[in-house]
Structure 1
């Protein structure tokens, strides 16, 4: 039987230590947890829990405060990142206690492929946003970016920029932006990443005029949506790769991309994303670019859900849904905790982030067989034999 030993260490001063052993027996495994009345005086041998997570959640699990909150429950969590759409096909799911992709459907695929009975547990959500620069937004054709620099009209972008074949140089855009490249709204790879699937659904809904995806005529959209992704060229396998470049001094090379709201807010909170970048051009001219987050219309959100693969994985899901401190920490990292909108609102008010309401209409993605077949057709058209392992074969 796998047992957890808990040790109490007495300090030089009289201290009150409380050890709470919670015998939660499931499949013959006893779980012990420890609770500190005086922190850093009690030391615990912890359960190690292994997880496979979307890259946008790495900073959350690496946060020292998050690590400490899990330790109070007798847990130490080790995570590795992967694209949400490849998790179900990971060659060794038996080595993980939970998977934490960017959608409930991806979590359900993990459970099915691992032959584990149960349902995904939605932990938090995050809307898709457009990460760009103020001067880029101002240079777009009228109506694509709103005058108040808050929203991004996807249908107008598709008509006036993408289908019109605009290049960055056509937009009378000063600065070091890649003038000869097409003015493309970038995403991650559709064969690996959940955020790219959300972008596909967003573009499909904007084109059909219906927030319900898949639309009745979705197969008719295959050709041009294939081009929408093919035109992007080589992009990131996971959501953090292109976003990290956007935050760097070379961010102007990726002037416009879809990311999770949580990524942008977390970068602002930690200071890893300086809003202003100054770049010196080849002629010695300095250009100042200010980063900007726009909410697309229509909108679409991701439900980040855990697929518990073991009892320990279920303990992580329980902690993230039940623990008020962990929900608040998730909000600090930009996520919207499920069932707790007050936590997100409170944190952003304290941080001084004046966020608008997510605009409507909200796209409703039904990941049924028709949608999967359509998306696989687009993926094959874009990547062909270079397709990553998003489909388990």
Structure 2
């Protein structure tokens, strides 16, 4: 079945689909002795994606073949398609095609065919190429790129911008890797995502990673960076909660979880606060979170609240679980709808103001990164819950290529530096605090009041207990 390409006629899409299929079969046949079939098909898919949205489609299969042959660096020069011998002659352009002649190895030989084109069409092809330059006949041959392995991962959404960063892409490519990622909530990654389709799983916490390791009998893991849980608010709200004893201002503002849980347990609403003329809203004072049934940031917030509700002791055992569950359930049920990943509530915080989200549970990294993108305004305030938890972003390799990604993220100095620029703590405290200072974000250089999350089984019991309360 043909794909739908906006702005392109259905018959043209059908022709492109057929040409792509034939070209892929030809590449597989040509390269099968040196390159795995799956790698060829992955390279074709990645190269084809470069032309998404381009209106002129006639030469896309040719250009995709060109890219793939150069990237996979076919070691047989009699088979590899060479660089085009010319760019523009009067009304012609050199295109590459595969003909059915066999060489001594029984493989098809690539030849070039001259395709008549108008001068305008030649210009269009040059524009569509998007970086795959056609060279004049006397130009030196372009250097062949090193082979690149496509590695697929499923990750927490807060890391999407890191992997999309062109600088990160380049560092990985320089090490022979192209990473393709899909976002999901961390608990979804550990419970419902089909991990058989991926080379690595990269949830945002150790408990989610431990679940994956247990299920798949994997002992290896990498923790290249981390981020503490924080609570973002606005100056008028911070002033109200300072007066109520919840927020303690200072160089680094803190959010007293004991005081907050007292207000939440009593059902105090915003318009109950004395002298509240800035936010006189008749709704409960609650921190907005993600959905604890799927998302790690909500699970981390639950861990903090559970610790405080359990008399500042890590929850252990069935008795303690039952003791704290009513308090924890109320924190989530009263919120109404919650997103599956941390991007949802934080984007709402950034764009919609304090009306819908006066308090939102986030990762510190999200705030620091947003500041670097110019999205933090003077009325926004970052606070740290006391106590807080450190969300350790943990990569579980599912294949050998996934293991390569984990090692690179952990050991490569450039990737660690770029992680700090995206707001993550990498173990290099000076690098992170320098980034935060440049962006005028007051952060705690050293996290002191940090507690451990409950053991894997206990956290699962608490999350399941909260999930059951939704029904």
- The TM-score with structure 2 as length reference comes to 0.66
Counterpart Cα distance in 2 of 1:94 and 1:178: 51
- Alpha-carbon spacing, 1:128–1:41, altered in 2? closer, same or farther (3 Å): farther
Q: Which residue of the partner structure matches residue 351 of structure 2?
A: 248
Count residues with an aligned counterpart.
336
- Alpha-carbon spacing, 1:184–1:336, altered in 2? closer, same or farther (3 Å): same
Whether 1:56 and 2:158 are equivalent positions in the alignment is yes
Whether 1:373 and 2:461 are equivalent positions in the alignment is yes
Q: Which residue of the partner structure matches residue 394 of structure 2?
A: 305
- Alpha-carbon spacing, 1:373–1:249, altered in 2? closer, same or farther (3 Å): closer
Partner secondary structure for residue 365 of structure 1: coil
Q: Which residue of the partner structure matches residue 23 of structure 1?
A: none
Partner secondary structure for residue 247 of structure 2: coil
Match of 1:335 among 424, 429, 437: 424
RMSD across aligned positions (CA): 2.5
Assess if the C-alpha contact under 8 Å between 2:291 and 2:340 holds in 1.
yes
What do the CA deviations read for 1:336-380 (whole angstroms, capped 9, x no partner)?
A: 11x433332343344454423455432112324334223311221
Per-residue deviation, 1:181: 1.8
Whether 1:127 and 2:223 are equivalent positions in the alignment is no
Whether 1:324 and 2:427 are equivalent positions in the alignment is no
- Alpha-carbon spacing, 1:312–1:295, altered in 2? closer, same or farther (3 Å): same
Counterpart Cα distance in 2 of 1:116 and 1:67: 30
Whether 1:185 and 2:287 are equivalent positions in the alignment is yes
Assess if the C-alpha contact under 8 Å between 1:99 and 1:306 holds in 2.
yes
- Alpha-carbon spacing, 1:359–1:111, altered in 2? closer, same or farther (3 Å): closer
Partner secondary structure for residue 352 of structure 2: coil
Counterpart Cα distance in 1 of 2:229 and 2:212: 23
- Alpha-carbon spacing, 1:274–1:354, altered in 2? closer, same or farther (3 Å): closer
- Alpha-carbon spacing, 1:313–1:267, altered in 2? closer, same or farther (3 Å): same
Partner secondary structure for residue 295 of structure 1: strand
Counterpart Cα distance in 1 of 2:377 and 2:260: 24
Partner secondary structure for residue 243 of structure 1: helix
Partner secondary structure for residue 396 of structure 2: strand
Assess if the C-alpha contact under 8 Å between 2:270 and 2:280 holds in 1.
yes
Gaps of 5+ in 2: 1-34, 40-70, 76-81, 84-141
Question: Following superposition of structure 1 onto structure 2, how do residues 29-44 of structure 1 map, counting pairs within 5 Å?
Answer: 43-44=145-146
More helix by proportion, 1 or 2? 2
Partner secondary structure for residue 275 of structure 1: coil
Partner secondary structure for residue 364 of structure 1: coil
Assess if the C-alpha contact under 8 Å between 2:389 and 2:451 holds in 1.
yes
Assess if the C-alpha contact under 8 Å between 2:395 and 2:406 holds in 1.
yes
Of the structure 1 ranges 101-110 and 206-215, higher mean CA displacement relative to structure 2 is found in: 206-215
Assess if the C-alpha contact under 8 Å between 1:111 and 1:309 holds in 2.
no
- Alpha-carbon spacing, 1:351–1:225, altered in 2? closer, same or farther (3 Å): closer
Per-residue deviation, 1:211: 4.6
Match of 1:166 among 265, 268, 271: 268
Counterpart Cα distance in 1 of 2:354 and 2:454: 34
Of the structure 1 ranges 253-262 and 137-146, higher mean CA displacement relative to structure 2 is found in: 137-146
Q: Which has the larger radius of gyration?
A: 2
Of the structure 1 ranges 304-313 and 350-359, higher mean CA displacement relative to structure 2 is found in: 350-359
Per-residue deviation, 1:110: 2.0
Greater length-normalized contact order (CA 8 Å, ≥ 6 residues apart): 1
